């Protein structure tokens, strides 16, 4: 699977039809730094402990594994430090502060009780979403629409949106600011697209929602707090998305759909998922956040896939299965919790045999009078 548009110089193709290392920094088409905040100022706002240089300034945001000296990141547990790169400012716990400083060579480390919640507050303090309707409008922000594109009169096209050659946009669609739709795409009626880009030949049926924020939140003592989603959604070539399906944009990093993926009606794909080339996903499937489907995976209707899982290349998930752990390449899974299909059917046969034997034994012990 290749990235939809230009992924940046540090991107590289990943194994088994997935795309690893897509742009982790904020995308200037959709977001901008509203103000530059120093580590010292941020520590005051967050009531955080501070190690290192108070004058270090946030220029971008990232995950620890994709960070550099200009970026703010957060570390909630030691496992997140595996493979961590350099960082500008790291938000973490007091217990991990020294280790984070050593492993990321951070300019400044802020220690708090809840790093993820503190990171969300920092994003809100620093970042503006230029794709929102009330965001600033600048000269030259008009959308770029190819002369051969067909746009329904009732469609709304946002500032800086790009619509390619021979693309058709249906009635009552809303194409958000900065969205890029490439050539030969078909956008059905009543679709809503934001914070996303589509490669050539994509086909969206009516009512599709692409690029909405995901269901990411942090529980506090008062109420759940939504976590900002500052990634985007990328669709590869010739992706088909069925009616009333929804694919969320990434929280940190991107949600990525590969080439020639078929998605049925009423499917939900959560934030930061990676769907490999040639996958087929039937109706009413739900895929939780940060799960990877490698190339050629097939998922039957009403199946549910848990978060942070990897479904191996060519695996088949049968209808109404519930997947709670990684699935090896080529496996066929069924049931809840999903297990290997051959073993599942053998177990079912044994259970039926046991039930028949118990039923027969009950009749013998209670003969008719």
CA 284/CA 357 separation, integer angstroms: 38
Going from the C-alpha of 159 to that of each of 29, 177, 194, 367, the distances in angstroms are 10, 5, 11, 82
Q: How many CB atoms lie within 10 A of CB 322?
A: 17
Catalytic residue among 66, 229, 271, 278: 271
User: Which neighbouring-strand residues pair with 204?
Assistant: 187, 241
21: buried, middle or exposed (CB in 10 Å: 19+, 13-18, 0-12)?
Answer: middle
Cα 346 from Cα 281, distance rounded (Å): 26
Number of H helices and E strands in the chain, helices first, is: 4, 40
Q: Determine the Cα–Cα distance for residues 103 and 79; give it in Å rounded to an integer.
A: 12
Does residue 271 carry a catalytic annotation? yes
**Contact predicate 319/301, CB 8 Å:** yes
Active site residues: 271
């Amino acid at each position: 699977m290749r990235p939809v548009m230009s992924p940046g110089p540090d991107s590289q193709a990943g194994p088994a039809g997935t795309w690893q290392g897509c742009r982790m920094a904020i995308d200037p088409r959709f977001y901008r730094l509203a103000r530059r905040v120093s580590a010292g100022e941020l520590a005051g706002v967050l009531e955080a402990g501070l190690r290192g240089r108070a004058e270090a300034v946030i220029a971008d945001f990232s995950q620890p594994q994709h960070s550099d000296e200009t970026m703010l990141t957060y570390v909630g547990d030691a496992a997140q430090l595996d493979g961590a790169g350099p960082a500008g400012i790291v938000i973490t716990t007091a217990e991990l502060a020294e280790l984070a400083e050593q492993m990321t060579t951070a300019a400044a480390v802020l220690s708090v009780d809840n790093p993820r919640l503190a990171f969300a507050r920092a994003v809100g303090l620093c970042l503006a979403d230029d794709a929102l309707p009330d965001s600033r409008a600048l000269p030259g922000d008009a959308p770029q629409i190819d002369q051969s594109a067909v746009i329904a009169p009732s469609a709304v096209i946002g500032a800086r949106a790009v619509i390619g050659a021979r693309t058709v946009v249906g009635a009552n669609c809303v194409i958000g600011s900065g969205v890029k739709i490439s050539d030969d795409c078909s956008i059905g009626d009543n679709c809503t697209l934001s914070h996303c880009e589509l490669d050539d030949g994509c086909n969206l049926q009516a009512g599709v929602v692409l690029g909405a924020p995901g269901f990411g939140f942090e529980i506090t003592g008062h109420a759940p707090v939504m976590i900002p989603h500052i990634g985007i959604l990328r669709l590869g070539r010739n992706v088909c998305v069925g009616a009333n399906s929804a694919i969320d944009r990434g929280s940190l990093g991107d949600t990525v759909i590969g080439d020639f993926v078929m998605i049925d009606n009423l499917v939900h794909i959560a934030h930061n998922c990676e769907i490999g080339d040639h996958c087929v996903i039937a109706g009413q499937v739900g895929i939780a956040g940060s799960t990877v489907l490698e190339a050629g995976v097939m998922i039957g209707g009403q199946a549910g896939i848990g978060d942070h899982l990897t479904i191996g290349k060519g695996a088949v998930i049968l209808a109404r299965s519930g997947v709670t752990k990684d699935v090896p390449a080529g496996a066929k899974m069924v049931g809840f919790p999903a297990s290997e299909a051959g073993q599942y059917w053998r177990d079912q046969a044994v259970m039926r045999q046991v039930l028949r034997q118990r039923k027969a034994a009950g009749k013998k012990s209670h003969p008719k009078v």
